[in-house]
């Protein structure tokens, strides 16, 4: 039997839904706010902005991060920019246009009302960040500068050199630290949430481990907000930070929060390729390189010549050949998938034959080195730092890498999960991007959730909590949760096998990248599920974690994260298997057009899958949120 | 209390006293240069000049300020060195941080200590004798400091000691003058560069000037 | 493949005594990053049921600021403007001995091995390193134009990643570069200027309270800073501090 979820979308025309919601939402008076406590897990853009905004309103906030400082959350690494429908360029942008671009970019698999709200609140974010002292790029006149980004026809991207994420994060980090100073936020750095505590079905607190001392801590609150980011690190080789993990959302999932569209992962086309078995991460190179760089592979398989020795007529500029209209600027999912096809055909380049060339020789000839240096100098320097190769002299080698999780905890219009009192914001939820995220929309979503949406929707929830006293952390449910977490850690330590958590992670990652990555097939996914189960079994029997739980123990931290990945991986495959269509980043080889493009099936799959935990990773229950498009008619994405 | 303990305020004091002392060095050098005149003229001129300084009320006040500056500069140096030690805590077993800065900028305390020791000798040999000692008078009736100075610079070991101390002073000034401006808040990129250059020129001129005198005297006698 | 001898600082906690421990790796690849080399060592140690070397790291692309160790006596190792995570083994030779120590300063207490606690830097920001604007108060972003070169200069200061290499490289363990970069960024922008006086005094005092040393303008911090933050920020902090002290209202 299929369950259908109610997203609680407000009444009214699309453009009035958010204001209608705000009109009706309940309020909490300033007096009462100081009696209420909120836990926010994660201090990235979503977490820090939410914690700061709630504290400014007068709530008592406890803020957690596993890094040694909130400023290090992985939002810091975003390069490109942040979109906002300001229409400063007078080039025809509007909230509706931005909403439509986002919806189309997501291949019509996101919730209309949420996506519209994202566009609607985008302008406020630029105002807020500017007021915080974020040094956005400016015109010589002193007004804010914009640039264009993939998949749209207007210039609406605001940026701060190639470090927009860092600057936005520092803005919200500073807002957070200001509240730490006033005492409204208690900051717990180097703390990892290991379980969610439910009392009478409501989220009432968390169990966290102090990573410096190993001590288990109980924290109670009137509501819990998860802003723990995405889980692309599950592929091991990804653009994510080493510590990024899914533990917070997965453990919430196991307590009853539904996971939506877990298999939708954006694979970014322009990353540095893996150079050896030892590699720990893949570095992203800004997508902007594709404005002047041409992507190619040798025409013939197993060509061992150096790039510069291959004559022009023996090169295959496959993107220009297949997508003459967009050429090298085809959207991310298409560029990534095409690269993989070439690599799979044996035309990959580099030591491991896992990359394609990104060639600047024509641009260098056309504009001269100075112009190219001005545009991409920092990226060329970064490329040289990492690979030791001068890209002015020979083409760069790039390859696709896991980057962003469109999936995450299912949330309703209020960003509340299926657990009462548990909210999920930023990349940790699933809501706004559909099956593929547009460039420069991730920073936006994190900020809009934290600054402008959650403060209203959480308040609506907290209005009914005023009568409830502070959560008692000696409640038996806390005992139970702490006990379970301790037992799990003890199990890891007691296994005493001979494979490290990292080795398991690498195996899991490559299995997943291979069979549930850029393209998926029934056969591959079924095989993957089988292999993942094997691996999970081996993990239980053959893991090795030295030391003990009462001290700093990074191996123990890793073990916990990998244990969760082992379960999510299966859910991702089950989700991908269930969706018998291709849409956005989800490409099922069985469902493609004759030209090899994604073939969507709106009649059968116009829904978000929301999975419910059922005691075992192998038997999740599928719930559906049917996507209803009131204002737009889904069309076929074409970039030919 | 924090205001006084505050390192930035302390550094300001250090900078201001240092700059005053640097200014004094210019005056002192002009006085000393009179030693390079032909012997008879130099003697009368120099002794007259010394007498002038000793008798003038304005100069007396300045002298007191000078002593206070030396004292404050030294106390501050000791205070800040102790503070630095405390801030550093345990030290590195392998330390190659020196590649990033000039050796003299890292050893201002050491250079300052050499200068301080030298000052004690300097005060004892000349200032103390002039102020409290029994000196013969020249034909104008001024105390004959000139002969005392010349006699001192007649000894090779004294000249060497003097030169070493002046070189230490030179390096101290090389970093100190420019650093003082930074401490006081000169942040303009161009002016900061100019001050750095002028500071360097100043340090070199002072060093050359002060070294030239004893060597000249030693070689000419 | 290279053979690398490692002498790594091992210390159980801030109370216990630490010292170098020797390891040799025979199969270090030139293309490995420095941290991947440590990963390799750790996998070997864990497989022998020994405690791996604890070290700080996260993004591994030079922007989060969490990594940072002294490599052969230099913060973040031999390359200029490069964080530890972006240093690759091709910067070393076959047979080299590499000494690895944590950043050391009283304000950076050791957690374990190469891991340190830099919350003192957060406390400095917390004391005043922000614009006091609540969510919702912001005016339209283009209301106040900011000249391009001012915005760029503010960015130069804002680029700090908070790794603490400046403190580790300073002979006095001063956090002046870190503190002054934030003060300068916010002073340059009209949005932040209003609070400069209050901010600069609060942040300088907090820096003192955290136990950092003073600045003697050796300029080592600028040389070793991965983000190339200028020492002129420090001069600007001094200027603003003096100004606020001289011009204070009461």
Tens of pLDDT, residue by residue over A161-173, are: 889 999 999 999 9
pLDDT confidence of residue A288: 80
- Class level of CATH domain B7-85+105-220: mainly alpha
| Residues 6+ away with beta carbon under 8 Å from A357 | A295, A296, A297, A307, A349, A395, A396, A397, A398
pLDDT tops 80 at residue A589: yes
pLDDT confidence of residue B2: 40
CB A225 within 8 A of CB A37: no
pLDDT tops 60 at residue A604: yes
Classified as helix, coil or strand, A338 is helix
pLDDT band of B143, cuts 50, 70, 90 = confident
Nearest-CA distance C5 → chain A (Å) = 18
DSSP letters spanning A265-310: EEEEEEEPPP-STT-----B--GGGGGT-EEEEESSTT--S-GGGS
pLDDT confidence of residue A489: 98
- For the ranges A446-450, A489-493, B127-131, which has the lowest average pLDDT? B127-131
Q: Domain residue spans in chain A?
A: 267-400, 476-607
Residue C101 has its nearest CB partner, among B6, B87, B93, at: B93
* For testing contact with chain C, the best of B76, B78, B89, B194 (most C CBs within 10 A): B89
C17-48 core/surface letters (b: 16 or more CB in 10 A; e: else): ebeeeebebeebbbbbbbbbbbbbbbbebbbe
Q: Is A498 on the interface with C (CB under 8 A)?
A: yes
Q: What is the pLDDT of residues B156-189, one digit of tens each?
A: 999 999 999 999 999 999 999 999 999 999 999 9
* For testing contact with chain A, the best of C2, C54, C65, C130 (most A CBs within 10 A): C130
Question: In the CATH hierarchy, which fold is given to the domain comprising A476-607?
Answer: Methane Monooxygenase Hydroxylase; Chain G, domain 1 (1.20.58)
Per cent of chain C over pLDDT 70 is 99
Q: Is A605 on the interface with C (CB under 8 A)?
A: no
pLDDT confidence of residue A80: 84
Nearest-CA distance A514 → chain C (Å) = 23
Q: Whole-model pTM?
A: 0.96
Question: Which two tokens mark A513?
Answer: 């990248």
pLDDT tops 50 at residue A220: yes
Q: What is the pLDDT of residues A552-583, one digit of tens each?
A: 999 999 999 999 999 999 999 999 999 999 99
Contact residues on chain B for C69, CB-CB shorter than 8 A: none
C88 strand-pairing partners: C33
pLDDT band of A1, cuts 50, 70, 90 = very low
Measured distance CA(A114)–CA(B208) in Å, rounded:
76
Surface-to-core class of residue A231, CB atoms within 10 Å of its CB (0-12 exposed, 13-18 middle, 19+ buried): buried
CB C124 within 8 A of CB C206: yes
pLDDT tops 60 at residue B114: yes
Question: In the CATH hierarchy, which fold is given to the domain comprising C119-246?
Answer: Fumarate Reductase Iron-sulfur Protein; Chain B, domain 2 (1.10.1060)
Classified as helix, coil or strand, A490 is helix
Q: Among residues 31-70 of chain B, which lie with CB inside 8 Å of chain C?
A: none
pLDDT confidence of residue C179: 98
| Residues 6+ away with beta carbon under 8 Å from A599 | A581, A582, A591, A592, A593
- Verify whether residue A332 is a known catalytic residue: yes
Q: Domain residue spans in chain B?
A: 7-85+105-220
Of C183, C152, C175, the C-alpha closest to C221 is C175
pLDDT confidence of residue B1: 34
Question: Which two tokens mark C144?
Answer: 């106040």
pLDDT tops 60 at residue C250: no
Q: What is the pLDDT of residues A397-433, one digit of tens each?
A: 999 999 999 999 999 999 999 999 999 999 999 989 9
pLDDT confidence of residue A416: 98
Kindly give the pairing relationship between strand A223-226 and strand A422-424: parallel
pLDDT tops 70 at residue C249: no
Measured distance CA(A116)–CA(A261) in Å, rounded:
20
Find the mean pLDDT for residues C138-160: 97
ipTM score of the complex? Answer: 0.97
pLDDT tops 70 at residue B33: yes
pLDDT confidence of residue A379: 86
pLDDT confidence of residue B11: 94
- Which CATH number fits the domain A267-400, given the four candidates 3.90.700.10, 3.30.930.10, 2.40.30.160, 3.40.50.620? 3.90.700.10
| Residues 6+ away with beta carbon under 8 Å from A336 | A267, A268, A269, A400, A518
Cα three-residue angle A285-A166-A569, rounded to 5 degrees = 65
pLDDT band of A71, cuts 50, 70, 90 = very high
Q: Among residues 302-361 of chain A, which lie with CB inside 8 Å of chain C?
A: none
Q: Is A213 on the interface with C (CB under 8 A)?
A: no
Nearest-CA distance B207 → chain C (Å) = 21
pLDDT confidence of residue A151: 72
pLDDT tops 50 at residue B192: yes
pLDDT confidence of residue B4: 62
Query: CATH 1.10.1060.10 occupies which residues in chain C?
Result: 119-246
Q: Among residues 150-169 of chain A, which lie with CB inside 8 Å of chain C?
A: 160-161, 163, 166-167
A174 strand-pairing partners: none
Question: In the CATH hierarchy, which fold is given to the domain comprising C2-112?
Answer: Ubiquitin-like (UB roll) (3.10.20)
Query: CATH 3.10.20.30 occupies which residues in chain C?
Result: 2-112
| Residues 6+ away with beta carbon under 8 Å from A534 | none
- Mean pLDDT, chain A, rounded, equals 95
Residue A448: closest C-alpha in chain C: C135
Contacting partners of chain A (3+ CB pairs under 8 A): C
Q: What is the pLDDT of residues A609-621, one digit of tens each?
A: 999 999 999 999 9
């Amino acid at each position: 039997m299929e369950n259908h979820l109610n997203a609680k979308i407000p009444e009214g025309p699309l453009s009035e839904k958010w204001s209608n919601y705000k009109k009706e939402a309940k309020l909490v008076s300033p007096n009462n706010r100081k009696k209420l406590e909120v836990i926010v897990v994660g201090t990235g853009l979503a977490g820090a902005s939410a914690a700061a905004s709630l504290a400014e309103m007068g709530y008592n906030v406890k803020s957690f991060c596993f890094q040694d400082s909130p400023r290090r959350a992985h939002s810091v690494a975003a390069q490109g920019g942040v979109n906002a429908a300001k229409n400063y360029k007078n080039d025809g942008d509007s909230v509706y246009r931005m909403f439509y671009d986002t919806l189309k970019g997501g291949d019509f698999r996101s919730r209309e009302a949420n996506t519209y709200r994202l566009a609607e609140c985008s302008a406020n974010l630029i105002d807020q960040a500017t007021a915080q002292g974020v040094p956005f790029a400016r015109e010589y006149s002193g007004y804010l500068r914009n640039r264009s980004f993939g998949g749209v026809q207007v210039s609406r991207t605001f940026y701060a050199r190639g470090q927009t994420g860092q600057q936005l994060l520092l803005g919200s980090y500073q807002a957070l630290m200001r509240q730490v100073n006033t005492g409204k936020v208690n900051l717990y750095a180097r703390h990892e949430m290991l379980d969610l505590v439910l009392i009478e079905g409501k989220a009432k607190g968390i169990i966290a481990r102090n990573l410096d001392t190993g001590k288990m801590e109980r924290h109670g609150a009137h509501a819990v907000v998860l802003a723990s980011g995405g889980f692309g690190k599950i592929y091991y080789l990804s653009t994510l930070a080493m510590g990024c993990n899914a533990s917070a959302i997965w453990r919430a999932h196991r307590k009853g929060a539904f996971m939506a569209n877990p298999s939708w992962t954006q694979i970014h086309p322009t990353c540095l390729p893996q150079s050896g078995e030892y590699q720990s991460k893949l570095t992203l190179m800004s997508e902007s390189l594709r404005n002047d760089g041409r992507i190619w592979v040798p025409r013939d398989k197993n060509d061992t010549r150096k790039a510069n020795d291959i004559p022009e007529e023996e090169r295959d500029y496959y993107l220009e050949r297949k997508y003459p209209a967009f050429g090298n600027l085809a959207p991310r999912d298409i560029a990534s998938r095409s690269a993989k096809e070439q690599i799979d055909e044996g035309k990959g380049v580099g030591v491991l034959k896992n990359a394609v060339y990104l060639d600047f020789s024509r641009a260098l000839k056309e504009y001269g080195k100075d112009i190219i240096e001005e545009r991409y100098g920092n990226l060329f320097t970064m490329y040289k730092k990492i690979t030791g190769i001068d890209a002015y002299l020979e083409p760069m080698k790039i390859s696709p890498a896991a980057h962003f999780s469109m999936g995450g905890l299912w949330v309703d219009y209020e960003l509340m999960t299926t657990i009462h009192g548990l909210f999920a914001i930023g990349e940790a939820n699933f809501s706004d991007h559909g099956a593929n995220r547009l460039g420069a929309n991730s920073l936006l979503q994190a900020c809009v959730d934290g600054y402008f949406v959650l403060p209203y929707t959480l308040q609506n929830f907290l209005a009914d909590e005023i009568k409830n006293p502070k959560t008692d952390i000696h409640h038996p449910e806390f005992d139970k949760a702490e006990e379970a977490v301790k037992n799990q850690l003890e199990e890891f330590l007691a296994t005493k096998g001979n494979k490290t958590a990292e080795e398991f992670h690498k195996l899991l990652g490559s299995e997943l990248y291979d069979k549930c990555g850029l393209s998926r097939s029934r056969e591959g996914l079924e095989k993957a599920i089988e292999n993942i189960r094997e691996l999970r079994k081996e993990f239980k029997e053959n893991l090795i974690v030295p030391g003990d739980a009462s001290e700093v123990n990074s191996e123990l931290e890793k073990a916990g994260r990998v244990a969760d990945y082992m379960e999510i991986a299966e859910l991702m495959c089950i989700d991908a298997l269930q969706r018998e269509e291709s849409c956005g980043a989800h490409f099922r080889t069985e469902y493609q057009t004759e030209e090899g493009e994604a073939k969507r099936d709106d009649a059968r799959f116009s829904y978000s899958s929301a999975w419910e935990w059922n005691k075992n990773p192998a038997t999740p229950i599928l719930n559906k949120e049917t996507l209803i498009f009131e204002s737009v008619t889904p069309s076929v994405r074409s970039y030919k | 209390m924090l205001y006084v303990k505050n390192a930035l305020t302390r550094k300001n004091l250090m900078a201001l006293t240092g700059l005053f002392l640097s200014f004094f060095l210019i005056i002192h050098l002009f006085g000393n240069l009179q030693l390079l005149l032909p012997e008879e003229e130099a003697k009368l001129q120099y002794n007259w000049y010394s007498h002038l300084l000793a008798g003038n009320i304005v100069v007396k006040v300045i002298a007191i300020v000078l002593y206070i500056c030396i004292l404050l500069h030294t106390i501050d140096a000791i205070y800040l060195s102790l503070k630095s030690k405390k801030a550093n805590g345990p030290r590195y077993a392998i330390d190659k941080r020196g590649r990033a800065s000039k050796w003299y900028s890292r050893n201002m305390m050491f250079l300052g200590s050499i200068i301080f020791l030298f000052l004690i000798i300097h005060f004892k040999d000349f200032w103390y004798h002039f102020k409290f000692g029994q000196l013969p008078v020249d034909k104008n009736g001024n105390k004959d400091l000139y002969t005392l100075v010349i006699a001192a610079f007649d000894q090779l070991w004294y000249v060497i000691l003097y030169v070493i101390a002046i070189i230490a002073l030179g390096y101290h000034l090389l970093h100190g003058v420019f650093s003082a401006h930074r401490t006081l808040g000169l942040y303009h990129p161009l002016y900061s560069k100019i001050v750095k250059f002028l500071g360097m020129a100043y340090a070199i001129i002072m060093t050359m000037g002060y070294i030239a005198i004893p060597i000249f005297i030693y070689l000419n006698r | 493949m290279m053979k690398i001898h490692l002498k790594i600082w091992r210390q159980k906690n801030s109370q216990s005594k630490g010292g170098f421990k020797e390891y040799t790796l025979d199969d270090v690849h030139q293309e490995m990053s420095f941290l991947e080399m440590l990963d390799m060592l750790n996998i070997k140690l864990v497989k022998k049921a020994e405690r791996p070397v604890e070290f700080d790291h996260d993004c591994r692309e030079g922007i989060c600021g969490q990594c940072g160790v002294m490599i052969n006596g230099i913060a973040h190792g031999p390359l200029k403007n490069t964080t530890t995570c972006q240093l690759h083994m091709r910067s070393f030779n076959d047979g080299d001995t590499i000494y690895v120590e944590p950043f050391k300063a009283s304000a950076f207490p050791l957690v374990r091995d190469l891991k340190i606690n830099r919350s003192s830097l957060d406390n400095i920001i917390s004391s005043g390193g922000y614009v006091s604007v609540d969510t919702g108060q912001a005016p339209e972003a283009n209301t106040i134009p900011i000249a391009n070169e001012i915005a760029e200069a503010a960015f130069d200061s804002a680029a700090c990643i908070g790794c603490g290499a400046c403190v580790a490289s300073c002979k006095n363990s001063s956090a002046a570069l870190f503190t002054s970069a934030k003060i300068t960024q916010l002073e340059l922008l009209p949005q932040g200027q209003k609070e400069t006086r209050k901010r600069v005094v609060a942040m300088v005092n907090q820096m003192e309270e955290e136990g950092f040393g003073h600045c003697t303008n050796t300029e080592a911090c600028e040389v070793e800073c991965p983000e190339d933050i200028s020492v002129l920020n420090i001069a600007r902090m001094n200027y603003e501090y003096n100004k606020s002290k001289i011009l204070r209202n009461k």
